Structure 1
Amino acid sequence: MDFQEAMGWVEEDHVFPKEPGAFHSKRFDWLLRETGLALDLRSVPLAVVAGSCGKASTARFLAHIAARAGLRVVLGTKPPLQETPEGNLERYQVSGPGGFRWLSPEEFRERVAELRPAVTRLHLEKPELGLPAPYELRAWILARTAVVQGAGLAVVEANMGLRLDPAGALPAPEVTLLTPVGTDHGALLKPPEGYRPELGERSGPFWHKVGGVHPDSPLVVGRQDPGVQAALPRADRLFGQHFDYFEARCTLSGSQAFLRLGGEVRPIRLITPGAFQLENAAHAAAAADVLHSRGLLPGLREAFWTAVQEGLAVTETPGRMQVLARRPAVILAVATSPEKLEGLLASLDHLLPASGRLYVCATFLDRIHRLSEAVRTVLAFPRTRQLLVTRFLDDEVNRDLNPETLGGLERIEPVATPREAMDRALKEAGAEDLILLLGNGMAAALASGALTIPVAPAARCGPCHPPDPGDR
C-alpha cells in the first residue's frame, strides 16, 4: 500500500457516522487496548484542547511553548487547510530543531500499515461496534506517532465534542483546555432530555464538551458565555480570574499585550493579529503554567517565561486570521460559524482605519452549519460593504436568504469562482479597505493556484520586534 492508498483508506474508505447511536468511543477504546497503545500512552503526557472556538490556534500556541521549553512535541489539529492526500498530513505534526514538521508520507504509510490489521479484527470480532470513522483512525495515528517519537507532550485537539470523542478515551490528560463553548454541531451534539434547558442551544455542546473532561485532569477554562461559565462544575484556572491579558495593541503586523498568570505579568508579542488570538495565547500560556507546576515543563520560573514569550512569538496560525497582503489588506480565515465570525469581525474592526470598509469573498462548503446565520453575521457588521459568495448550500438555504430574514441582501453578490470574487473585491476596494477571504474553499483555491493575490505581500513581524507604531 503506497501513501495515496493509505490516505484513501483513512479519508475515503471510512465514513462519518450517520446514526446518532454510532457516535461513541467504544471502537477507539477497543483499538487502543488491542494494539497495546493504551499501555504505551501512559508514558506520553497529554494536553487535550476542547471547546467550539479557537481550538486549533490555542493548541498551536501551547505546542510551541512546550517545544521552546525543550520538549519533543506531537501536535494534532483539525481540519487541515487542504483536505487533499498531502494536505491531510497537516493533522499530524512533530517538533524538531527547525520547528514543526508534518508527518512524512512514508511515516503515515507505516502508521496505517500498523493499524489496518486491528481494524480488520475489529470488524470481525466486534461487528456490533461498527467500522471506525476517519476521525478515530486519525486519532490512533496521532497517538501512535506520539509514542514512536518519544514525545514529551502530545497536544490533541478534540473532535466535535469530548464525551464520545476519541480524545475522551485517551488516558487522563495532564491538562485539559476548554475554549469558548458555542452552538456548533448542535444537530449532532444532543444532550439528554431535559438537560440544562437554561443553556438553550449550548446545552448539547456543553454536555458533550464539559461532560467529557476527565475528572483527574486539571481544567483551564477560556472566556465563556456567562451562562456556560455559571454552569461549569469546576475550573482549576479561569480566564479573567487566574489569567488574562491587558493593554492590547493589534495591527496587521501582529499583536502585543501584557500577559498575567496569577500574580506575574510579562509582555508578549504575537505574529498573528487579532484580540481573539491574544485570548487563545493567554489560554495556552495558562495551560503551560499548569504543566510547569506539575514538573512537565523543565526549568526555573524565568526559563518558563522565556519559553512562553518565545513560543507565542513564533506561532503561526495558517488560515486563521492569516495576513496575506497589504493596501488593501487581504486576510484569510477559514472558520465560518457565527460564533467564530463574531470574534473575527470584532478583531477586524480594530484593524480597519476609521474610513476602512470590508469586502468578504466567501466559499461555503456543504458541511457548514447554520449558513444563513453566518451570512447574517457578516451583513450585520457595520463595515461590510459587499459579500461575494461563490457557492450556497442548496435550494433550502437559498430560500432562507431573503430580505425578510437577512436584510442587506443587496450587498450579496453571487460569483462563479474565488478568482472572480477576488477580482471584484480588488476592483472596488481602496488602499485603506480590507478584503476577507472566508472559508476553506478560498484556502483551497489559493493552494491550487486558482486564486492568487496580485498585491504586495504582507510583511512579517519578527519574534523579537513589536509592531511598528505607525502600522495599522
Structure 2
Amino acid sequence: MQNLPATLAEWLAKLESMHPRAIDMGLERVAQVKDRLQIRFDCPVIIVGGTNGKGSTCAMLESILMQAGYRVGLYTSPHLIDFNERARLLGEPAGDAALIEQFAAVEAARGDVSLTYFEFTTLAILRLFAQAQLDAVILEVGLGGRLDAVNVIDADVAIVTSVDIDHTEYLGNTREQIGFEKAGIFRPGKPAICSDPVPPQSLIDHAQAIGADLWLFGRDFNYSGDKQQWNYGGRGQRRNSLGYPSLRGANQLLNASAALAALEALRHRLPVGAQEVRNGLVLVELPGRFQVLPGRPSIVLDVAHNPHAAATLAQNLNNMGFHPYTYAVFGAMQDKDIAGVIAHLKDIVDHWCLTDLPLPRAATAEQLKQKLLEAGVVPQTGAGAERSIETFASPAAAFASARSRAGENDRIAVFGSFLTVAGVMEARRAGAQA
C-alpha cells in the first residue's frame, strides 16, 4: 500500500482530489465498501433528512438521549470550523487519531472503488460509531436522502423535517420531486416521521408504497403551548409543561416535536423520562442556527442559505425587537436561489457587507451586489448613508467593517453559506486569542 497521509489535514486534502466529481449521487460504490468493512449497528439508528431543521433536530435528539444516560454517536455535515465536528461521540468531537485510523481502514477496503470526499468520510465515521459500543446513533443526511451515502444504513426511525426548494440540480425543482428524494430514507415497517406541516404527496405515497409506518405532523403528533411552556402530544404519549428549546427561532417546536415523535417510536428500546426531555431541550446547543451572541451590538449567526431558511431568519429577526440599523454579512454559493434569499431580507437589512468565499462555486461579492441591485435595493453614498452595499474579499473583512460601523444598539446578521458563518467565527476566535 502506498504511503498514507500522517495527519488529519493531509488526509482531508487527499480526499478532496481523489474522485473526479465532488458530488456523485448513488449508493452502489458506498454499499460495496460498507459490506467489505462489515459495518453494522446493534443499537437503534435514527436518520434525519430534510431541507432545513436537520441539524437542530439531531442536536435535540443527542442532547435528550445523553441526559438520559445513553452513549450516543452523532454524525452531521458540513462542519463549521473543524472537520472533527462531524463525528460526535458521547457529546465530544472525535479525535484526530480515531479518524485517521478509520480513514486508513476505508482506504484499505475500497480497493479500486472510487469514493467522493463525503462518501469516504461517511464510511469512516460509520465504522467509528459501529466500533464504539453505542446505545444510539443519529445520522444527518448530507443531500437529499434516497441517493445520499448515509442511506446505505437502514434506519430504525427516519425523520424528514421539511421539504423545500434547494439543490435543484440533484433533487429536482419542485417540492414533489424533492419530497420523493427525501422519503428515500424511509424503510418498510419502520417509523417514518415527517414534521413538515404540508408534506408533499410524493412523500406520503412513497411511505405507503413501501409499507413504512408514517407519522405526520398534525395527524400523529403535534404541539401546543403558550409563552411560558409547551406540550407534545403523540400517538400514545404526552409530554407536558416543557420548557422551550434553548435553540432560538420560529421552527424549533416543529423540530423538537419530530425529535420527541422519534423517541416515542423508540420508547421500548430507549426509554426517556420527562425530566431528561426537559433538561435535554434546555441544554441543547448548535452553533450557527439563529445563534445570538452575547454583548452589543447584537450579532446573529445563521447558516440560512435558501429561501425557506431565509424566511425563517427574517421572521426571527423581526421578533427580536427594535434595532436602529441592521448590518448583513452575506456570502453564498452561486447555485443557490440568491434572489429568493434576498427577497425575504431586503426590507430588514440596511447595510449589506457582501463577501467572496474561498470556493470556486461561490458567488463573488460583485455578483451578490448585482442581485441586490436587481432586487431593487438602492444604496446611498456619503456620510450618514442609511442604506449601503459594500463588497469584501473575506467574511472576516466584511464582519470587521460591519463591527466598525455598527452602533451598540444596532445588530449584525451573519448568514448564507456555512463558509460565511465559519469565516466570522474563526475571525472572532482569532481576535479573542490575540
TM-score (norm 1): 0.78
How big is the shift at 1:450? 6.6
How far did residue 93 of structure 1 move? 0.5
Q: 1:279 aligns to what?
A: 254
Deviations 1:292-332 (CA, angstroms, capped at 9, x unpaired): 1xx2213xxxx522221111111101111112133321111
* 3-state SS of paired residue (2:84): helix
Structure 1 segment 95-110 matched on structure 2, within 5 A: 95=90, 100-110=91-101
- Pairing 1:157–2:122 present: no
Q: Any conservation in 1 of the 2:329–2:352 contact (CA below 8 Å)?
A: yes
Match of 2:35 in 1: 33
Q: Which amino acid aligns with 1:257?
A: Q
| Correspondent of 1:390 among 344, 349, 355 | 355
CA contact (8 A) 1:77 1:92 kept: yes
Corresponding residue SS for 1:384: coil
Secondary structure of the equivalent of 2:222? strand
CA offsets 1:94-129 (integer angstroms, 9 cap, x no match): 01xxxx11110000111011111112x243xxxxxx
1:247 to 225, 228, 231: 225
* Equivalence for 2:327: 359
Aligned partner of 2:12: which letter? M
* Aligned pair partner of 1:2 in 6, 18, 25: 6
Partner amino acid, structure 1, of 2:287 = P
Q: What are the Cα deviations for residues 33-76 of structure 1, in whole angstroms up to 9, with x where unaligned?
A: 12211xx33x1321000111011111111111112222111000
Structure 1 equivalent of residue 277 of structure 2: 308
User: Aligned-pair distance for 1:342?
Assistant: 0.8
Partner of 1:148: 131
1:318-397 to 2 correspondence within 5 Å? 318-353=287-322, 357-364=325-332, 366=333, 369-379=336-346, 382-391=347-356, 393-394=363-364, 397=367
- SS of 1:27 mapped into structure 2: helix
Secondary structure in 2 matching 1:351: coil
The answer for the alignment partner of 1:180 in structure 2 is 162
The aligned amino acid for 2:200 is V
Contact 2:36–2:109 at 8 Å: present in 1 too? yes
**Normalising by structure 2, what TM-score?**
0.84
Instruction: Please tell me whether the aligned partners of residues 92 and 103 of structure 1 are also in contact (alpha carbons under 8 angstroms).
Output: yes
Q: Partners of 2:344 and 2:127 in 1: how far apart?
A: 41
> Where does residue 180 of structure 2 map in the other structure?
207
Q: 1:180 aligns to what SS in structure 2?
A: coil
> Does the C-alpha gap of structure 1 residues 451 and 152 become closer, same or farther in structure 2, counting only changes over 3 Å?
closer
- Against the structure 1 CA distance between its residues 36 and 441, is the aligned structure 2 distance closer, same or farther, given a 3 Å change threshold? closer
Report the alpha carbon displacement of residue 367 of structure 1 after superposing the two structures with TM. 5.5
Cα pair 1:446 1:452 within 8 Å, conserved: no
Alpha carbons of 1:203 and 1:445: their partners in 2 closer, same or farther (altered >3 Å)?
same
Equivalent residue number for residue 104 of structure 2:
113
Is this contact kept in 2: 1:186–1:204, CA < 8 A?
Answer: no
Distance in 2 (CA, whole Å) between partners of 1:395 and 1:418 is 10
Counterparts of 1:51-200 in structure 2, within 5 Å, are: 51-82=50-81, 87-95=82-90, 100-119=91-110, 121-123=111-113, 131-171=114-154, 173-190=155-172
Q: How much does 1:10 deviate?
A: 3.1
Q: In the alignment, is the contact (CA less than 8 A) between 1:418 and 1:451 conserved in 2?
A: no
Q: Which residue of 1 aligns with 2:384?
A: none
1:396 CA drift (Å) = 9.8
Q: CA deviation at 1:146?
A: 1.4
* Structure 2 portions without partners, runs of 5+: 208-212, 357-361, 380-386
Which amino acid in 1 is paired with 2:254?
E
Structure 2 residue identity aligned to 1:393? A
Secondary structure of the equivalent of 2:224?
strand
2:414 to 437, 440, 451: 437
The amino acid of 2:229's aligned partner reads: A
Partner of 1:413: 389
Residues 412 and 216 from structure 1, CA distance in 2 versus in 1: closer, same or farther, beyond 3 angstroms?
farther
**Letter in structure 2 aligned against 1:284:** A
Q: Aligned to 1:245, what secondary structure does the other structure show?
A: strand
What residue identity is the alignment partner of 1:109?
Answer: I
Quick one: which amino acid aligns to residue 231 of structure 2?
L
Q: CA deviation at 1:427?
A: 5.1
Q: Which amino acid aligns with 2:302?
A: A
C-alpha deviations, 1:326-381, integer Å up to 9, x for none? Answer: 3321111123111111112212211223x6543211122x45512232223221xx
SS, match of residue 244 in structure 2: strand
* CA drift at 1:424: 4.2
SS class of match (1:162): coil
Per the TM alignment, residue 159 of structure 1 is displaced from its structure 2 partner at its CA by 1.6
In structure 1, C-alpha distance between the alignment counterparts of 2:78 and 2:274, rounded to whole Å: 30
